[in-house]
Amino acid sequence: MRKIDDGLTPQQRFALRHPERLKEISRAWRERHHDKVLAREREYHALHREERRAYSRGYHALHREENRKTALAYYYAHREERATYSRLYRQAHLEECRARARAYLATHPEKRREHKAEYYARKRGAMICDFTAEQWERLKEIYQNRCAYCGKVCDDLEQDHVLPLSRGGDHTLYNIVPACRSCNGEKHDKTLPEYLEYIWQKRGYIK
Ligand SMILES: [Zn+2]
């Protein structure tokens, strides 16, 4: 038989002739040696960490808009899946999850209040519940710790939902103002126009 001298090893020649078969073999090998594959990837990543970081920073800067859209689309497309996964995870690790949440909330009272407010907002039918403890602190600062309705300085301001939750309002930054207990109670489930009409009449400003 004539010896072929193409400068290739027998493996390379095989690869050229049977690309599909080669893919299969390598897939099977990777499946059989999953641990080895992972270890090799880890090693590679550790060796090229800085390089990879610089590359992805550059790539990300170039494709910012595109990436954002892809990420958002992915986020929404996998909503159900993610919810199912976390439900199952929680079921399987119930005690652990509870203990972790308890420990976290014990050291973060503002988060505890945030959770509580969110819980009640959901119960009362709010669709969007993304108001955070940080936003609440910032909001009070902007209002200089005054009630949005009567202007009184108050150290136990309450979160008033401008459009009440019971009327379709959301528990979100754009629907919340700080209010003193008395104004919040008085406004109750009135919309802002209804409340304004109420106080003008009650205080006799307008007949
Ligand atoms: Zn007030």
Range of the domain at 135: 108-202
Distance (Å) from CA 64 to ligand 1 centroid: 45
> In this model, does residue 1 exceed pLDDT 60?
no
Distance CA 34, CA 29 (A): 8
CATH code assigned at 185: 1.10.30.50
Distance (Å) from CA 157 to ligand 1 centroid: 9
Output the 3-class SS for 14-47.
HHHHCHHHHHHHHHHHHHHCHHHHHHHHHHHHHH
Give the count of domains, the chain: 1
Distance (Å) from CA 192 to ligand 1 centroid: 14
* pLDDT at position 2: 59
Three-class secondary structure of residue 191 per DSSP: coil
Residue 91: inside a domain, yes or no? no
Is the pTM here over 0.75, yes or no? no
Element (H, E) at 122: helix 109-123
Distance (Å) from CA 96 to ligand 1 centroid: 43
Looking at residue 134, its amino acid is E
The pLDDT-based confidence of 9 (bands split at 50, 70, 90) is confident
> What is the overall mean pLDDT for the chain?
90
Residue 146: inside a domain, yes or no? yes
Distance (Å) from CA 153 to ligand 1 centroid: 9
* pLDDT at position 76: 86
Distance (Å) from CA 151 to ligand 1 centroid: 6
Mean pLDDT of 136-152: 96
Structure tokens at 205: 């400003």
Residue 133: inside a domain, yes or no? yes
> In this model, does residue 13 exceed pLDDT 90?
no
Residue 77: inside a domain, yes or no? no
Lowest mean pLDDT among 13-17, 93-97, 184-188: 13-17
* pLDDT at position 4: 61
Distance (Å) from CA 205 to ligand 1 centroid: 17
Residue 147: inside a domain, yes or no? yes
Residue 167: inside a domain, yes or no? yes
Residue 118: inside a domain, yes or no? yes
Mean pLDDT of 118-128: 90
Lowest mean pLDDT among 6-15, 43-52, 172-181: 6-15
Distance (Å) from CA 154 to ligand 1 centroid: 9
The pLDDT-based confidence of 207 (bands split at 50, 70, 90) is low
Lowest mean pLDDT among 98-112, 148-162, 165-179: 98-112
